[in-house]
Amino acid sequence: VRALSADPPGTALCTDFDGTLAPIVADPARSRPVPGVPALLGRLADRMSAVAVVSGRPGAFLAAALAGAGPRVQLVGLYGLEWVEDGTVRLAPEAVGWVGPATAAAAAARADAERPDAVEVEPKGPSVTLHWRRSPGGEAWALGFARAWAGRTGLVAQPGRMSVELRPPLEIDKGTVVERLGRGRRLACFAGDDAGDLAAFAALDRLAASGTAVQRVAVADAESPPELVRAADVVVRGGPVRFATLLGQVDVATA
Ligand SMILES: [Mg+2]
């Protein structure tokens, strides 16, 4: 809180969404931020040089879930492949060619007779996520399907919390976004809870090497990967609700 409050105009605050701003829920479609968080981010964005939510979710989902955040909060979806600009979702040009293969994989997953019913298929334009949170036995099928379709399409399988995602093999990830937003700032912070957030921590390592102060924040619970906790400067126990409380303290300190 002290670090983030010291110099708002010199600070870039980047955060993941699910498991960081929003409690993990059984149905990913029903995930919502902790109450008050959108407006809180909006206020911080008025004072800081950058406030961004960088997520694996589609940009349209983030725009709806964080509608109260206002235009100053940057919304980056699909691990950097999508962003929201003046209310419109933009897709990175290099990702356009992957919409076809990912859509085909999503359709094949839905049609697969061996898919356990409770494994959810979430098509996301150039990528697709398979969730087994409501289907404890579904992990083996999902990982096998992802491996097979990675081989067939050239998409790459990225593991997540009770999920696996097939995404384009592009050198765009949360890290490239965080590095761009944090470059030249006095302080860059990223908060996340999952394996996909390690790329953002690695970007903070690169920024630190060029003289930016950094804060690697793990919003951790029992499911969080141990390597994320090990790499963090700050471990927030208590999940998104606790993290929102700390951001609220930054809000008060910088008001
Ligand atoms: Mg997350």
How many Å lie between the centroid of ligand 1 and the Cα of residue 196? 8
The two structure tokens encoding residue 131: 């969730």
- In this structure, the chain runs to a length of 255
Q: SS3 of 163, please?
A: strand
Residues near 103 by beta carbon (within 8 Å), at least 6 away in sequence: 123, 128
How many Å lie between the centroid of ligand 1 and the Cα of residue 224? 9
Residue 251: pLDDT band (50, 70, 90) is: very high
Q: Which of 7, 16, 173, 194 is catalytic?
A: 16
Say whether pLDDT at 13 is over 90: yes
Compute the average pLDDT of residues 48-64: 96
Query: In percent, how much of the chain has pLDDT > 90?
Result: 92
Query: Smallest Cα–Cα separation from 247: which of 83, 79, 69, 80?
Result: 69
Instruction: Quick: pLDDT tens for 187-230.
Output: 999 999 998 899 999 999 999 999 999 999 999 988 889 999 99
The question of whether 16 is a catalytic residue gets the answer: yes
Q: What is the pLDDT of residue 161?
A: 87
